Structure 1
């Protein structure tokens, strides 16, 4: 059941799956994505493998605190502080962090600046942001009129399908977008504010300063952050490993959920 939690001066909506006595896995999705983008069926598969799974809406997504479009009142470090506050609210001492896309930066801040709270970090479809990495190869779609719900839906569906690649289920994606739009406090803010915030990194270092086990999962055919980005994350973290999802684009398609779950369970075996 979803619950609003008062955390770090804001409200964060979260949902848990499984036994609280099991190792905790905190799922953090990317820019503009509410917790629905970690589908409940995927969360249940992880829970069935002996993990206590937490998914949540970051600020400006879903039912969590929202700000005026284009004026986010926070930075990436604030989003990381939110994650720490959320596990405090849930009574959890340490978590295995699984951070996707933009939120790889949140996972990095958590791991570097809060190492006693993070048992491992799994970076999914993310990047070091180095200037020499290959650029995105995705079509550009004009932002819609946000007063036209049908146009907004079509914009998000087309953008998402282009990023997810050949294994994307288009109709399932459209249904998810509709649910996300209906659930959001302010969907325009959801689509804009994460891109307008300050992308400040850790206070105390970078990828090479992560001391906990690190796994990198990346789609073979990711058009938004090509595979070289995932390889760069692996190379930046001594002792880390890389799992390449064959045929996947930017994210984890349903067809490869079992492979994803296997990799996360193997990485999060220790408490």
Structure 2
């Protein structure tokens, strides 16, 4: 049984799901490029809710059951994704949330923190970057795009991509099941894997990382092959009083062996914003 709901936000449909007591402090989870809310695993959301958090996960535009655009032609910017997050908080009745963002969505979280600071209690950046020149490039293998008319080929492409990012913490059955569920839910999976890279990257209006004024936590694996550790260190160095937790052996994203550390760190961090 699912508790997913479709919400009308900024003239688009966003699919979201909540966990826990709405009276608890809200935690808004934003996954990375092309990833639906399923990439915030249900079990992990449950663990956070059990620690006294009202957890909100959702499909951004062009992922999952949310509004999809023609492949390669999204008519939105990253600032629109940030505005969607604010609109979703309005719709579910949340005044202010602790925001957690993974990878590319760190840019969305930065816009939220700078252009909508009254709605953000704290920020947590997982496996993301400042995007500064001079940071080390990815060390991942290149995978050719699959034939999107062949679901098996698409599944294999995404599973192998997850494996490459995982840096040794790879659970193939779990990854394959996630991808199959993602494929089954998506309005257009080719758009999911394409359009976040084709949108307009406009950035915040009100400064940069150094201008953030809420508590900031950075979580980064020291084996991340997509955004190596210096990317996370750059955020720590750019944000006043930011704290960096280095997760030994973790690749890109949040592998299950690190969930307990993540939950403990996030609960402690978000207490600072109360």
Alignment TM-score > 0.5, same fold = yes
| Mapping 1:23-62, distance limit 5 Å | 23-62=25-64
State the match for 2:262 in structure 1: 260
1:117 to 116, 119, 125: 119
Q: Distance in 2 between matches of 1:43 and 1:159?
A: 24
SS at match of 1:158: helix
Residue 165 of structure 1: CA displacement?
1.4
Residue 262 of structure 1: CA displacement?
0.5
In structure 1, stretches of 5+ residues that fail to align are: none
Q: Distance in 2 between matches of 1:25 and 1:90?
A: 12
SS at match of 1:5: strand
Q: Distance in 2 between matches of 1:126 and 1:63?
A: 25
State the match for 1:145 in structure 2: 147
Residue 92 of structure 1: CA displacement?
0.5
Residue 160 of structure 1: CA displacement?
1.3
SS at match of 2:86: helix
Q: Distance in 1 between matches of 2:254 and 2:96?
A: 25
Q: Distance in 2 between matches of 1:251 and 1:70?
A: 25
State the match for 2:90 in structure 1: 88
What are the superposed Cα offsets for residues 93-137 of structure 1, whole Å, 9 maximum, x if unpaired? Answer: 000000000000000000000111100000000000011000000
What are the superposed Cα offsets for residues 10-33 of structure 1, whole Å, 9 maximum, x if unpaired? Answer: 000000000111110000000000
Relative to the length of structure 1, the TM-score reads 0.99
State the match for 1:197 in structure 2: 199
SS at match of 1:268: helix
In structure 2, stretches of 5+ residues that fail to align are: none
4+ aligned runs moved over 6 Å, structure 1: none
Give the number of equivalent residue pairs. Answer: 271
What are the superposed Cα offsets for residues 178-219 of structure 1, whole Å, 9 maximum, x if unpaired? Answer: 110011000000000000011111011110110000000001
Relative to the length of structure 2, the TM-score reads 0.98
| Mapping 1:100-111, distance limit 5 Å | 100-111=102-113
